Amino acid sequence: MFTEADFEPILLSLKLAAVTTAVLLLLGLPLAWWLARGRGTGRAIVGAVVTLPLVLPPSVLGFYILVALGPAGPLGRLTEVLGLGILNFTFTGLVIGSVVYSLPFMVQPLQTAFESVGHRPIEAAATLRCPPLEAFWCVVMPLARHGIVTGVLMTFAHTIGEFGVVLMIGGNIPGETQVVSTEIFTYVEAMEYDKAHVLAGGMLVFSFLVLAGLNLLNRRRATS
């Protein structure tokens, strides 16, 4: 029923989700910490920008990322100067689009976790002459682990299911930008509903398991 080529989008989706999650974890930690602890009116503006992908239609967001990465766009000109070429319709372009689109799914759980830690643990570490960076890694991070796990799972699952942004930026190039969601679209267009059912059902089960796992974590945290 399925050939070896039919499994390439699954592997590509897992690779895209893993890379996007890793990049967002690195970017999201300092950003969420600043949003949770920083001062000034700039936080409200940055917070709105972070939340924007939740309310913008994926086609709109994908279109503007496509323009920004294009030959006339600022990012496209920068990548050409750096010798990277135009990143539209490449895997790297998909990663950039996925990072932007999944940003709130990583930052918001981290921000909430950092806010719930409170000031007392940090102040206690400061009285013991613990350097700020060491206090962050040894005190804050363990206390915020639930938010970190939530952010990682939500980002990974959300990236797996992306469609609109992926289609706008990467198209549907087999072996390069064709992920599970766009492969389902291809099967439906070709009226190969049996294959579409298998992939769609797999994504449904995967999403259910992620959400069920998060609910179990929340219950354990509430009872602990």
Span 127-141, pLDDT tens digits: 878 888 888 888 888
Q: Is residue 82 in some structural domain?
A: no
The answer, yes or no, to whether residue 1 has pLDDT greater than 70, is no
Query: Which residues constitute the domain of residue 14?
Result: 10-38+45-55+89-117+143-218
Q: What is the rounded average pLDDT for all residues in the chain? A: 88
Residue 139: CA atoms inside 13 Å, Cβ hemisphere, count?
A: 19
The pLDDT assigned to 173 comes to 86
Q: What angle do CA 75, 80, 82 make, to 5 degrees?
A: 95
Q: Is residue 190 in some structural domain?
A: yes
The answer, yes or no, to whether residue 223 has pLDDT greater than 80, is no
Q: Is residue 75 in some structural domain?
A: no
* Structural domain count of the chain: 1
Q: Which residues, 6 or more positions from 106, have their beta carbon under 8 angstroms from its beta carbon? A: 21, 24, 25, 27, 28, 32, 151, 152, 154, 155
Q: Is residue 176 in some structural domain?
A: yes
The answer, yes or no, to whether residue 2 has pLDDT greater than 70, is no
The pLDDT assigned to 3 comes to 66
Q: Is residue 223 in some structural domain?
A: no
Q: Is residue 2 in some structural domain?
A: no
Cα–Cα distance, 129 to 139 (Å, whole number): 13
Query: What confidence tens digit (pLDDT) does each residue in 177-214 have?
Result: 889 988 998 889 889 898 899 889 988 998 898 888 88
Q: For residue 105, what pLDDT band results from cuts at 50, 70 and 90?
A: very high
The CATH number linked to 154 is 1.10.3720.10
